[in-house]
Every structure is written in C-alpha cells, then in structure tokens.
Amino acid sequence: MVSDNHPDHPLHRLNDDVLRMVCELLRPRGNLRPLSITCKWIRTACIPVLFRECIVQSKVVDRQYGRGFIPRSLWPYVCTLWFSGHFTRHEIEWLNIVHYHGLEDHDRAKEELHAMLVLVKQISNALRVTLGSMHALKSIRIFMTNQAVRAYHGSIYGISPYILEAIMSTPHLQRLSITGPLFHFRDSWPSDVAIPPLADLSIFTYCRNDIRSAAHVSHAEREEILHILARTHDRLEELDLPAECAPLDWMATWDWPSLRTLWLRGERAPSSLPLTYMLSKMPRLREASLLLAEPVNGGNSPMSRPSSSDSQVVCRDLEILNVAHPNPEDDLYSRLSRDLLCLALRCWPRYYKLHTRFEEEFSAAGVQWTSPLLSSSEMLRILRRVDAPQLYVMDLEFRADPGDTQLFRHIGSAFPALKFLCVHRYRMASETELPLIAIARALSSLQHLEVLMLHLDFLDLPDVGEPVVNDDHVYEVPPARAQQLADSDATLARAANVMAGLLGPSLQWLPLLRPTRDHEYQWVLFRIVRSTDAEDGDKVTAEHRWPWERKPGEPAFPYHSLLRDDD
C-alpha cells in the first residue's frame, strides 16, 4: 500500500492547478475539511481554499484576548473575513452603559469613560495591524443582529467609530458590508478619527435590521455615510443603504460612472430634488431599487414632487427597476431601456401592512408613515409610457377604479414576455364582487406567464384570529381559529379555480394573499393542474399546496421566499 505522502502516490501526479480545482469542487459541498485532515501534504494544498473565507467573533479582534481569532500562519490566505456579533468585550460593555445613561457628568464615570476609551483605541489599533497584515484580504463583512448588539437596559450601541476607522484602513479593501447598527444614537464623530482613503472600495453595503425614522439617525451616522460616499462615488459599483441616512441631495450632484446596482430602502430622508435626478449621474446603472417610505406630513409627497424632465435622465442599461410610490407625472418611464427585464411599481411598506393590524408594529418602532396609493388609471398612465417587450417580471400595487379593466388588458397586450406577475389590487369602496373573470380574461393573452401572485383584497375573506400560547409556551390553534383558516382557504380556493381555467396555458402557480401577520406563510399556494376527463374533456383546476409539499415529478415553487414576506 502506497502512503499518501509517498512521492509515487497517484495524487502527486496532479499539478497544482488540477488539485486546486478539486479543492474548489469539494468546498461548497462541505467535503474539503475531511479531505484536508487526511495528511500533511493534502492539508497544505487545501489551506488556500479552506481558509479563503473565515468567520470570527467580533469581540475577539486579536490573540491577546482569546484563541478564537485566526492564527497568524493563516492570514496570507484570507480573502473574505466575516465578523459576527458586536465588537464589545465585557470591559467595553460598561462604557456603553455609561454613555447611554449620560453618567459621564459624574467624576468617577468620567474617569471610567476615559479608561474605556483608551481600551477601545487599543483594540482598534490591534485590529488595524491585524487587518493590514492580511495581504490578500479584499472583503470584510460585519453581521450584527439587534439581539447581539443590545446592551443592558435596551441600549443598541453598534460599532465604535474607532473600530470602524480601523476596518476602513484595510489596504486594498474592495467590499465592505455592515448589517446592523452603525453607531449608538448618542454618538458624535470623534475629532481624532479620520476616514482613510478608500481607493479600491467598489461595493459598500449597509443594512439595518430594524424600522426607524430619519429623526432617529445620529449625526455621526449621517456624517460617516457622507464621507464614505464622497470618497468612493466615482469608483463604487454596488451601493446598498438605509434611505433614512442617505445624503440624497449630495448624491444627486455627484457623478457615479461605475455604479451598476443601487439599493435604497427605508424612510425617505428630506431632499429638495426627485430621486430620478440621481439616475442621470449613473450611466451604467443596471439595477435600481428605490423603496422609500413616505413620512406623514413630509411635505413632499410623490404627487407634489417635481418630475424628472431633464433630458439626460436616460437609463440605457437599466434592467431592473423597483420604485415605491411612483409619480405618474414623471417622464422617467418613457425613457427606460427596451431591454428592461423587471419592473416593480408598488408601495413600501405594502399598503395592507401599513393600514391593517401590521400598523402596530410601525407605531411601536416610532415611525409615522403614509402610503399614497395609485389608482388603476394612474398606473395605466405610467405603463403606457413603458416600452419593454422583453419584460418578464412585473410587480404592481394600486387601488381599483373604473379604468381597472383597461389596465389589465394593457398588461396582457403590452408585455407579452411576462413570466412572473404580482398584483396587489385594492377594491373600490363600492365594489361588492371582485371581477375575477374579467381579470383572468384580460391576462389570458400572456402565453408565457408561469406565476401569477394576486392580492385581491377580498371583501368576504374570513378574519383569522391570533394563536394562543399554552402553559408550556407552545403555540396552539384554537378551534375557532382553525375554522377561520379553513373558511379562508375555501374562499381563496374558489377564486383560484374560477381564474385557473381562463388564464393562459403556461400558468403553473397561482398564489393568493391572506394577510395574516402571525401566520408563517402569508401567501396560499395553488398549483395549476391540467388533466383530461373522459366526459368533460380538458380540465384545469387549482390545487392547494403547502410550500414544502410536492408530488413526484412536480417542480418546486420558484419564488419560495415570497410566500413568507414579499418585503
């Protein structure tokens, strides 16, 4: 038997490139680590792939405070580094408590605050040296849940400016992703912290896990975002920001020659210019998602906002456009590319969430948002300007008016390539019966449509009560609630079967919305089944399917995540 380390072993005949390819193929399947422990020679070959991406706890930023950080011998191989949790060890937690409660007015607290700041600076210096020694490091991702960054007495403190400055000092950093709070609400930007040049940064992502108002954004957070974008806007290729902290007026004045993806989501920050002015500065933009909630009494609703009449606003390369509360007067939609593939014109949050039992969630977060809902006729005015014969995904949200049938007929004729269509249609006040047949017939010309997701705002949809928790802290479904769910399913099933036989032959799935906040799946999924009956001939039915339920040979629903929450 030939030893693995023997020079005549067959594995030694593989050159380095082939062996690296073997490692790459094994890594996604979780088989690389078992291979790496077979022998020393194989482990050496696996190390560059095995440790290319590493995850560490944020509170362990150097070996001095624990063995959880990456050994120095592996630093040359790390290309992507994930920090999980907050950057606060036990000693610094007290600093945040002092800061949060304003105890720095007391002499003792001031001394402790100074001592803790010294400690934070020591940690940031150690982190700067560590990251600077990882010469292959190109991507840093920080992930903090709200639970992970919540200190005593409910204080959410995020990342210290000193820690953040150390991270941004990483040479050749191309991607920086932060999920979770950036700063404590009380933070101000320290005078001894300077943002370093970010010459290579091409992807910047900052996502929050919570809902908040623009009034709850600290000055330090706004200043940090402004400085980062001011130094990188001419090189950034991807940008994802909470809308409430985005410097919109500044962004509209900068050139973005390389930007291909733009995501803004959250409460719209005050601005003097329409968002579409920014698009004229982004000639290579391919995906734009502008999901901005409208604050109550914001004084600048989409209806009163000036339209983008600047002839430079031409989105030649745009393939995906997602706009909340679109302005029917905006000429942007007549200048979209004919190669547009995905278009969403909707509310954010969804209208039913903001104006139903979901409203209490937003009130608890201290936000006051409105949802200016377009009518069918206003939505039709926008879509008549869109010339996109290759469009295959569409998402619309509106309130029905007498022009409702014309809107659906226009969708059926103007966008023949549609494969996925999601419609949130809210009924007219005088409407007692939904026009299911009229809607289905209007959309029957869509010969490639595979998925039709509908929220039809049923008048007679039974309300579903809350579940109860028993003494063992287990959710139970009371008999009354079980009956409500069954009645609700029956109502949706009748509607699905009325429409199924009238829609095009390519339709495979027909999910209908049941807006129940506490239910795991808001969308009730129906599978379109076609069969031939000896007496009745061809027969089309809509059969209820649970998302995890599949019959042999049946494909999985392709938009599974949307069934839980389409936001």
**Tens digit of each residue's pLDDT (9 = 90 or more) over 100-123:** 455 445 566 667 667 777 877 888
Q: What is the reported pLDDT for 393?
A: 96
Strands 320-324 and 287-295: parallel
Residue 286's SS3 state is coil
Question: What tokens were used for 279?
Answer: 């698009």
User: What values do phi and psi take at 348, rounded to 5?
Assistant: -140, 125
Q: Is residue 252 scored above 60 in pLDDT? A: yes
Q: DSSP code of 303?
A: T
Give the pair of three-digit tokens for residue 136: 């292959």
Task: Note the pLDDT tens digit of each residue in 313-345.
Answer: 567 889 999 999 999 988 889 889 999 999 999
- Of 343, 344, 421, 333, nearest to 384 (Cα)? 333
- Dump pLDDT digits (tens) for 58-67: 877 655 545 6
Determine the Cα–Cα distance for residues 376 and 425; give it in Å rounded to an integer.
9
Residues 20, 47 contacting (CB under 8 angstroms): no
The answer to whether 179 and 207 are in contact (CB under 8 A) is yes
Going by pLDDT thresholds of 50, 70 and 90, the confidence category of residue 381 is: very high
| Euclidean distance between CA atoms 214 and 228, whole angstroms | 19
Q: What percent of the chain lies above the pLDDT cut of 90?
A: 40
pLDDT digits (tens, 9 = 90+) for 195-248: 788 889 999 999 987 788 888 888 888 888 998 999 999 999 999 999 999 999
In whole angstroms, what is the distance from residue 106 CA to residue 247 CA? 36
Q: What per-residue confidence (pLDDT) applies to 2?
A: 42
**pLDDT band at residue 1 under the 50/70/90 scheme:** very low
Distance CA 228, CA 53 (A): 25
Q: Kindly list the distances between the CA atom of residue 123 and the CA atoms of 87, 106, 135, 149, 554, in Å, as whole numbers in the listed order.
A: 9, 26, 20, 18, 55
Rg of the chain (C-alpha set): 28
Kindly state the helix (H) or strand (E) to which residue 265 belongs, with its residue range.
strand 261-267
Q: Between 35 and 346, where is the model more confident?
A: 346
Q: State the Cα–Cα distance between residues 251 and 262, nearest whole angstrom.
A: 12
pLDDT band at residue 191 using 50, 70 and 90 as cut-offs: confident
For the stretch 16-39, pLDDT in tens is: 666 666 666 666 665 656 655 556
Q: Would you say 391 and 418 are in contact if contact means Cβ atoms under 8 Å apart?
A: yes
User: How many CB atoms neighbour CB 196 within 10 A?
Assistant: 15
Euclidean distance between CA atoms 403 and 366, whole angstroms: 37
Tens of pLDDT, residue by residue over 57-101, are 887 765 554 566 888 888 998 999 999 887 765 445 555 555 545
Region class of 142: left (phi > 0), else alpha (psi between -120 and 50), else beta: beta
Three-state DSSP class for 357?
coil
For residue 188, give every residue at least 6 positions away whose Cβ sits within 8 Å of its Cβ, in sequence order, or none. 218, 219, 220
Residue 181, Cβ neighbours under 10 Å: how many?
23
What pLDDT, in 10s, does the model give residues 122-144? 888 888 888 999 999 999 999 98
Beta strands, E only, 271-358: 287-295, 320-324, 342-346
